[in-house]
Amino acid sequence: MGKRLFIAAKLPLSDQTRKKIDFIRDRLNYEKIKWVEPQNVHLTLKFLGDTDEELIPQIEEKLQQIAGQIPFNQVEIKGLGVFPNPFKPRVLWLGLQYEPALKELYDLIENEMELLGYEREHRDFKPHITLGRIKFLKNRKNLQFLLDKFKNTEFQSVKVNKIILFESELFPTGPVYTELAELQLQQI
């Protein structure tokens, strides 16, 4: 039997950041957006998808090796944006400043998971925190106002000090994430 898995870093949000997110949500409360619950906020490093349970120990072993090579670091949460673009927004996100150590972590995970048979991600690495998935927008101008207002906002600095292997179970009320393994990054 398989489990739906992904590799991520948890990013605890400050009260000040949560207030800004609440402001954004309030301005978009009449739109059809599936919001991410605060306890589910994370930086996805690799979505593995349906995975045979027998493979989980090998994944954990690879992640342990990776965690021992990468030092933890501070990352700035900065800016509000959408994927794929403002004309056809599907995902509303907070950006993360590009950090070489974060890119190195991402690349190592991609390389090691490819060795286990997972397909490489073909899109460029754009570190972000998903706030919500946009189903339908009535007022694009309101979204554009928010994108302009928070485009260069520095929300907070956050430590990326561990990577986590999560199981994701999908329910009508939203996903439930269960930690299967937590691996501490190298402390320098």
Count: domains in the chain: 1
Q: How confident is the model at residue 72 (pLDDT cuts 50, 70, 90)?
A: confident
Distance from C-alpha of 13 to C-alpha of 7, rounded to nearest angstrom: 19
Q: How confident is the model at residue 62 (pLDDT cuts 50, 70, 90)?
A: very high
List the catalytic residue out of 128, 131, 150, 181.
128
What's the whole-model pTM score? Answer: 0.93
Express each pLDDT in 6-48 by its tens digit. Answer: 999 999 999 999 999 999 999 999 999 999 988 899 999 999 9
Task: Please state the rounded mean pLDDT for residues 153-170.
Answer: 95
8 A C-beta contact, residue 91 and residue 82: yes
Amino acid at residue number 179: E
Q: Which of 183, 70, 84, 159 is nearest to 126 (CA)?
A: 84
- Annotated catalytic residue 42: yes
- Annotated catalytic residue 122: no
Give the domain range for residue 56.
2-184
Find the CATH number of the domain harbouring 122. 3.90.1140.10
Terminal Cα distance for the chain, rounded: 40
Q: How far, rounded to the nearest angstrom, does the alpha carbon of residue 14 sit from its chain's CA centroid? A: 16
Q: Is the pLDDT confidence value at 1 over 70? A: no
Q: Is the pLDDT confidence value at 187 over 80? A: no
8 A C-beta contact, residue 181 and residue 165: yes
Q: Is the pLDDT confidence value at 138 over 70? A: yes
Task: Please state the rounded mean pLDDT for residues 88-104.
Answer: 92
Q: How confident is the model at residue 94 (pLDDT cuts 50, 70, 90)?
A: very high
List the catalytic residue out of 3, 42, 46, 62.
42
Which residues are 134's β-sheet partners? 33
